[in-house]
Amino acid sequence: MSKQLQFKLVLLGESAVGKSSLVLRFVKDQFDDYRESTIGAAFLTQTVTLEDQTTVKFEIWDTAGQERYKSLAPMYYRNANCAVVVYDITQSASLEKARSWIRELQRQADPSIIIALCGNKADLSARRQVSQEEAKKYADEEGLMWGETSAKSGEGVQEIFAAIAKKLPQNTPASARAGGRAGPSGRTGVDLNKQAAGAPGQDEPCNC
Amino acid sequence: MDEEYDVIVLGTGLTECILSGLLSVEGKKVLHMDRNDYYGGDSASLNLTQLYRKFRPDQAPPTELGRDRDYAVDLIPKFIIASGELTRILVHTDVTRYLEFKQIAGSFVYRDGKISKVPSTEMEAVKSPLMGLFEKRRAKKFFEFLQSWKDEDPATHQGVNLDKDTMASVYEKFGLEPGTQDFIGHAMALYLDDDYKTKPARPAYERIVLYTSSMARYGKSPYIYPLYGLGELPQSFARLSAIYGGTYMLDKSIDEIVTDANGKFVGVRSGTETVKAKQVIGDPSYFGAGKPTDGGKVRVIEEGKVIRAICFLKHPIPGTDDADSAQIIIPQNQVGRRNDIYVAMVSSTHNVCAKDVYVAIVSTIVETDRPEQEIVPGLQLLGPIYDKFVTISSVYTPTASGKDDQIFITRSYDATSHFETVVDEVNDVWKRVVGKDLVLKKREVEVEA
């Protein structure tokens, strides 16, 4: 029988480097040139199937803009299994920001977290400010995965998520993944939603 | 910061974060600021570094307490009542997807010098030392009466009028002893003092029913608690707000509440920048906290004080059957006070401290000028205390509704052991800010791809 594993993936990076676009391309295979900051999605999910038929389900958390003034909550990093730190290859300052996010991850997140450094907007290579050599050298020094992507053309997007999926530990039961928060199957504590529907003798006043 | 907002929210305590989340979902443009570099304000959970920075700035946390990151120490002890109003908000806003809850293992009550578990099953009730045999029969009749009560069926009323008769007269009707009354009124109805006895019985009836239905929901106790500490609650509502477009700025000094010639709110100044908005909501610490603010106005006044002692233990609380978490209520009558003393204890089971450490918070409303003496009966129940951090904080309440100046100030966290009054506060502030009652709609959830 094929295994199903579930992992929490967090996105990090300076505003406007294309974090949301990258996820939108990965999850829905869409791109929108004038996309504004993400509104209304708690997190998105997407599944990758590995060669051995193991399916890896990502629960992808977007920053919801809380990175703009360095106001990401500790909750965001909590139990993250992997992180994609995005920079814009046409903005060298965005790689500096990525470095500081990586330091933040090393400080706040679980030490076993898998970090991928991702140079986005590869379609704009004519305006490139960050060379592949520079980024790759840094990634190698820090033990990070690295790749370039274009959310606009789709280039490299599936590849980087597939590479992360491959690198995640495959021998942990799904119930222990994503901190147990990954949905009904992954929960270990009490489930408020479930209990709310089945609470005996309690009419839950609902104004839906 | 040159944009204009609908609402600026100051302070990221739970009350403010729930309001911010709900206002953003409603489509308001919200700017949420906090002077601290962490979320939660007074309702934060701190790691060891933050805790020592707050209480003992010149001392580093002892290494034997373990890793900094394993700690999330609540500043204000509260548990969530399983069937209560906060649970309803958590479910309706769907922030439950960011949180994981565990039960509190037991609720205990202090009587005649020792603690006993509040029975959670009929079996436990039969065995409980809290009542003698005859008293148990009387109590059984009392609870059967409450359980079978139907407003529309006078046959279930047994001659009692819940809206007119006092709770004291209901106790008397069933012949309940004072000790049983202490237990029911304080450990189940969760009243902090005895004033309820001389008032109509209905609120007490509703509180007891809430307690028993919460108890029935998960089994061990009527309380649940979020893993990683209560500070997760404001964070989850802050994320809700951000997802609906709310802007977050931590570590931002708030230097002035700017008003026009008539005293009406204009904006908030931070350094040399002023951000404008139609309305401002904030906790009392941003509005003078008892002292006159800009323009000589006293915007909040002190209602009373609460003492809270955060205690690190290296063992479970004696007499709790090694429970990994517990609430202990010391009814005021039992120790000759006007207000109850509470003990709330959580441990590594809830991911709030290192293994084999137990964090107990003893709290009460201050009645004398020697508050530390007042909590001694609570501290004595804990056994040896490894370390203790004591705060005495004022409970502030706003002097105005905000209708005239569009400045809406929330109340400080009170001494109750649960979040029901926080939700009352959210409802109240919402009504003042928005002008209509808060109606919880289930929001659209993004369908999984």
Which backbone phi and psi does B390 adopt, to 5 degrees? -110, 135
> What would the pLDDT profile of B232-280 be if each residue is shown by its tens digit?
999 999 999 999 999 999 999 999 999 999 999 999 999 999 999 999 9
| Alpha-carbon gap: B9 to the closest alpha carbon of chain A (Å) | 15
The SS3 of residue B250 is: coil
Q: Facing residues of A87 across strands? A: A119
- Cα gap B271→B179, rounded to integer Å: 57
- Look-up: residue for tokens 């990525």? A98
Q: Smallest Cβ distance to B448: which of A38, A45, A68?
A: A45
The answer to whether B318 touches B381, Cβ cutoff 8 Å, is: yes
Decide: A83 and A113 in contact? Cβ < 8 Å: yes
Q: What are phi and psi of B238, to 5 degrees?
A: -65, -40
| Alpha-carbon span A50 to B388, nearest angstrom | 52
In a domain, B186, yes or no: yes
β pairing state of B114-117 and B106-111 = antiparallel
What domain range is B138 assigned to? 119-218
- B162-169: list long-range contacts, CB under 8 Å, 24+ apart: B162/B200, B162/B201, B162/B202, B162/B205, B163/B200, B163/B202, B164/B200, B165/B200, B165/B201, B166/B197, B166/B198, B166/B199, B166/B200, B166/B201, B167/B196, B167/B197, B167/B198, B167/B199, B167/B200, B167/B201, B167/B204, B168/B197, B168/B198, B169/B201
CB contact under 8 A, B248 and A207: no
- Model confidence over A161-191: pLDDT tens digits? 999 999 998 766 444 444 444 343 345 678 7
The residue of chain B nearest to residue A178, with distances taken between CA atoms, is B98
CA distance B396 to A135: 53
Is B239 in contact with A76 (Cβ distance < 8 A)? Answer: yes
Confidence at residue B405, expressed as pLDDT on a 0 to 100 scale: 95
How near does any CA of chain B get to the CA of A169, in Å?
A: 23
The reported pLDDT for the residue numbered A203 is: 42
Residue B110: pLDDT band with limits 50, 70, 90: very high
Within-domain flag for B29 = no
Please name the member of A27, A68, A196 whose beta carbon is closest to the beta carbon of B449: A27
Task: State residue B227's pLDDT score.
Answer: 96
B333 within domain boundaries:
no
User: In whole angstroms, what is the distance from residue A113 CA to residue A84 CA?
Assistant: 11
Residue B300 in contact with residue B397, Cβ under 8 Å? yes
Q: What is the mean pLDDT of residues B89-97?
A: 91
Q: Indicate the SS3 state at residue B83.
A: coil
Does residue B210 belong to any structural domain of this protein? yes
Rounded to whole angstroms, how far apart are CA atoms B48 and B70?
8
Phi (first) and psi of residue B429, to 5 degrees: -65, -40
Ordered DSSP codes for A82-149 = EEEEEEETT-HHHHHHHHHHHHHHHHHS-TT-EEEEEEE-GGGGGG--S-HHHHHHHHHHHT-EEEE-
One-character DSSP codes across A39-87: -S-S-EEEEEE-TTS-EEEEEEEP-TTTTTTT---HHHHTT-SEEEEEE
pLDDT digits (tens, 9 = 90+) for B200-222: 999 999 999 999 999 988 888 99
What residues of A are in contact with residue B39 (Cβ under 8 Å)?
73-74
pLDDT average, residue stretch B281-307? 88
Tell me whether residues A42 and B216 touch, CB distance under 8 A.
no
ipTM value for the complex:
0.83
HEC profile for B120-173? Answer: CCHHHHHHCCCCCHHHHHHHHHHHHHHHHCCCCCHHHCCCCCCCCCEHHHHHHH
Does the CB of A176 have a partner CB in chain B at under 8 Å? no
CA A11, CA A86: separation in Å to the nearest integer? 7
How is residue A39 written in tokens?
């509104």
Mean predicted confidence (pLDDT) in B228-234? 97
Helix (H, G, I), strand (E, B) or coil at B58: coil
Closest residue, chain B, to A205 (C-alpha) = B88
Contact B213, B22 (CB under 8 A): no
All structural domains of chain A: 4-198 (3.40.50.300)
Establish if A111 touches chain B: CB-CB under 8 angstroms: no
Q: Give the amino acid at B80.
A: I
Q: Quick one: average pLDDT of B26-52?
A: 95
* Nearest neighbour of B449 by CB, restricted to A46, A192, A204: A46
**SS3 letters across B341-379:** EEEEEEEHHHCCCCCCCEEEEEEEECCCCCHHHHCHHHH
The CA distance from B373 to A120, in Å, is 62
> What confidence category does residue A28 fall into, taking pLDDT thresholds of 50, 70 and 90?
confident
Q: What is the pLDDT at residue A33?
A: 74
pLDDT exceeds cutoff 90 at A197? no
Taking the C-alpha atoms of residue B254 and residue B277, their distance in angstroms, rounded to an integer, is 14
DSSP state, residue B281: E
pLDDT of residue B296: 73
* Mean pLDDT, chain B, whole residue set: 93
A199 pLDDT band, cuts 50/70/90, is very low
- Which span out of A41-55, A68-82, B3-17 was modeled with the highest average pLDDT? B3-17
Residue of A nearest to B439 (CA): A207
SS3 of B116, please? strand
Read off the CATH number of the domain in which B125 is found.
1.10.405.10
Whether B199 is covered by a domain: the verdict is yes
Looking at the 3D structure of chain B, how many domains does it have? Answer: 1
List the end-to-end C-alpha distance of chain B, in Å, as a whole number. 36
* Residue with token string 């051995």: A52
Residue pLDDT, tens place only, B383-405? 999 999 999 999 999 999 999 99
Task: Pick the residue of A63, A76, A187, A192 with the most B CBs within 10 A to test the interface with B by mutation.
Answer: A192
Q: Which residues of A touch B440 (CB under 8 A)?
A: 207
Distance from CA of A167 to the nearest CA of B (A): 23
Contact criterion met (CB < 8 Å) for A75 and B232: yes
Q: Contact B51/B319 with Cβ under 8 angstroms?
A: no
- The sign of the CA dihedral B236, B308, B82, B73 is positive
Strands B101-103 and B223-226: antiparallel
Element (H, E) at B232: helix B232-243
Sole residue written with tokens 């990994």 = B324
Is the CB of B239 less than 8 angstroms away from the CB of A201?
Answer: no
**A181, A187 in Cβ contact below 8 A?**
yes
Q: Please report which confidence band the pLDDT of residue A3 belongs to, taking 50, 70 and 90 as the band edges.
A: confident
Which of the 8 DSSP states describes residue B76? S
- What is the separation of C-alpha B280 from the centre of its chain, rounded to a whole number of angstroms? 23
Alpha-carbon distance A156 to B44, whole Å? 41
Q: Is residue B96 part of a domain?
A: no
Three-state DSSP at B202 gives helix
- Across the interface, of B101, B244, B251, the residue whose CB is closest to A190 is B101
Cα gap B379→B385, rounded to integer Å = 8
Tokens 């079978």 correspond to what residue? B148
Per DSSP, the three-state class of B112 is coil
Cα–Cα distance between B61 and B68 in angstroms, integer? Answer: 8
- Cβ of A171 under 8 Å from any chain B Cβ? no
**Which of A64, A192, A196 comes nearest B242 by C-beta?**
A64
Contact B306, B366 (CB under 8 A): yes
Contact B87 A192 (CB under 8 A): yes
Q: How many whole angstroms separate alpha carbon B289 and alpha carbon A103?
A: 38
Length of chain B: 449
pLDDT in tens, B145-188: 999 999 999 999 999 999 999 999 999 999 999 999 998 999 99
- Does A55 lie at the interface with B, CB-CB under 8 angstroms? no
Look at residue B15 in the predicted model and tell me its pLDDT. Answer: 98
Band (A117; pLDDT cuts 50, 70, 90): very high
- The answer to whether B238 contacts A41, with C-beta atoms less than 8 Å apart, is no
Is there a domain that residue B162 lies in?
A: yes
- Does B185 map to a domain? yes
% of chain B with per-residue pLDDT over 70: 97
